[in-house]
Chains A and B, each alone.
Chain A
Amino acid sequence: MTKNATFERPQTGQSASLELTHALTQTVYREARMLDDENYVGWVKMLADDLLYHMPGIETRYRRDKTDQVNDLTRMAYYNDNLEEIKKRLSRLETGTAWSEDPATRYTHIITNVEVEMTEKEGEYQVFSNFYAYRNRNEREEDSLIGNRVDIWREAGAAFQLVKRRIILKHNVLLSKNLNIFL
């Protein structure tokens, strides 16, 4: 619902200190572990109230086509959620009647290529990462979702909260029957 919001924070391009880089790397690893464990109560605590969680849908176009399919938040997206909407998704699971989630999907999120940069805003950091999310269900259903993420994380007491996330999935045709997963 966050239409016309701008995703980017003004960047300084300056990389963060070793200590900060370590702290944020640990943060995205911890987040991945919570998603693997379906610990959504813990995960939601890592999300800021003004969250924008965005995964644009990207068509195959020729290079000469300059349509901005990534930054334009008014275009089609697979996820374009604020915190309320994320909670709605989770509430479906909590009903106990989301039959297609039982038996549970087995998830592994592998997070790599973490880079942390300062932004112009005090206490907010840009974090680049790549993900490999593997899902397995029932006997032999499996699929892999691979892509890049650009996040903004904000200091919140001793920890950090996710303010913005852009997910670039590399699929054109989604080669699996749903996206019942947070990346």
Chain B
Amino acid sequence: MDVSDLVDTTTGRQKRTIYSNEELYKQELERIFGRCWLFLVHTSQIPKAGDYFRTFMGEDDVIVIRQKDGSIKAFLNSCTHRGNRICRADRGNAKAFTCNYHGWSFAPDGSLAGVPLENEAYFGELDRSKLGLVQVTHVAEYKGLVFGCFDPDAPSLEDYLGDAKFFLDVWLDAMPGGTSLLGETQKMELGSNWKLPVENVCGDGYHLGWAHAGAMSAVQSMDLAGLSVGNSSTNLEGGLSVAGMNGHMALTSLDGISGYAFYPEPKPMMDYLEANRPTAIERLGKVRGEQLWGSQINITIFPNLQFLPGLNWFRVYHPKGPGKLEQWTWAMVENDMPDEMQAAILDNQCLTFGLAGLFDNDDGDNLAACTEQSRGWRTAQMDVFTNMALGRSGPRDGFPGDIAAGLVSEHNQRYFYRRWQEHMQAESWAEVPTYNINSLSVEEPENA
């Protein structure tokens, strides 16, 4: 389907049919989820050989397994005999995966290790070497984050991430001890198109003071770029909307502390930041160490990964049809954080962005209703707008990307839809443009 008229990034307009059309959804599964690097697992979630974690790539059920040699492989979670699901648990450790249907058994490296009645019924003629689990084409790691990709022609993960690494490293590399994801997976089904929460978190600082006014008055403990309950103020100097990095985005405040603005008791976090600030500056340089580490930062890796250092939640959205998604959330920590601080971070999710979290209560309701209001015969033809601060972006000293001032802007959303359109129009990776606008040659600080 031609999508050239469905998104106009020069005026900031989208046709609502992109949130409800079945045919477009199938095209997304092929051209976005079948083509892009997708987050699979954090290395901390499968530390030992035989540890596995189940996830989705688009609607494909995938099992990610730590190998004997420490490497990580991913396979379609489907038996090569009759297609049954091999693994039914969310995660665990296994020496083999045996199919419930007829008992074929697969080793953690995906090879078909055992077939009942192989000689008696197959007369020894089965070529087991051709019947291993189907492997995800590419699996690669960036500092603990493991991604998979189905497209043999995809760029390397490093190139795919591009300048977004500047922001990724604010979490992944500020401290020498590395990072972890904590907690059982919090899974929630939501009657929303998958693009809407991504768009919301990638750039929509506008909704915070309004949609979350009640939640903010309940838990906000410090200033966040001047955002206030009821959207009565904002401070354009206090934050940046950064886009133009291969479809990835960052929305960040600049004070180095406000990531913890929604913690009712942020004192231990402030102490940690203060004690370790010199280390972060040494590792990340002055701009990131002083202004970004500890700040509220929303990082989006196209298409469906988002995480917020500071608020410390890490989330993927799995599409389940044009009008439905599954949202998976974990708590994210730096391993150098003291145990009590890690516990407090995990615990804070209960109150803020967990399933019972006060903020999530607000968002789910709005996103589902936006999706529904794109399904009618008339509404599907209507436009929606992301035209705030149009044309007011540019370079900024010390940062990569095309940047608009403040957290309240729709700059990032326009780039999200631009990337969506670029992928949907392209027949193959060769037709997908690469761009890292205002790229810095970031000097990689020496890692200890």
Contact = CB atoms under 8 A, between A and B. Distances in A.
B366 A100 contact: yes
Interface in B364-414: 364-366, 368
Interface string A72-99: 0011111111000100110111011111
Interface string A90-121: 01110111111100000000000000000000
A77 to B, nearest CB: 6
Interface stretch (A6-14, A28-36, A146-154, A169-177): A169-177
A3 B92 contact: no
A3 B343 contact: yes
Contacts of A19: none
A122 interface: no
A6 to B, nearest CB: 16
Contacts of A75: 183-184
B354 interface: yes
A95 B215 CA distance: 9
Interface stretch (B83-91, B146-154, B298-306, B437-445): B83-91
A76 B182 contact: yes
Given A97-B213, A178-B365, A60 B189 contact: no
A1 interface: yes
A179 B91 contact: no
Given A76-B331, A76-B346, A173-B326, A99 B214 contact: yes
B190 A177 contact: yes
B356 A78 contact: yes
Interface residues of B, number: 48
A59 B92 CA distance: 10
Contact of A92 (B92, B189, B217, B368): B217
B196 interface: no
Interface string A160-182: 00000000000011111111100
Contacts of B218: 88-89, 91-92, 95
A129 interface: no
B360 interface: yes
Contacts, number: 135
Interface in B310-365: 326, 330-331, 340, 343-344, 346-347, 349-351, 354-356, 358, 360-362, 364-365
Interface in A41-66: 55-62, 65
Contacts of A27: none
Nearest to B349: A76
A92 B355 contact: no
B347 A59 contact: no
Contacts of B233: none
B186 A57 contact: yes
A62 B186 CA distance: 18
A21 interface: no
Interface of B: 88-93, 182-191, 211, 213-215, 217-219, 229-230, 264, 326, 330-331, 340, 343-344, 346-347, 349-351, 354-356, 358, 360-362, 364-366, 368
15 contacts: A59-B90, A65-B92, A69-B184, A76-B182, A77-B350, A79-B350, A91-B217, A91-B218, A95-B214, A97-B214, A99-B214, A101-B361, A177-B188, A177-B191, A178-B364
Given A61-B92, A92-B358, 7 more contacts: A61-B91, A78-B186, A78-B354, A78-B356, A97-B213, A100-B364, A176-B188
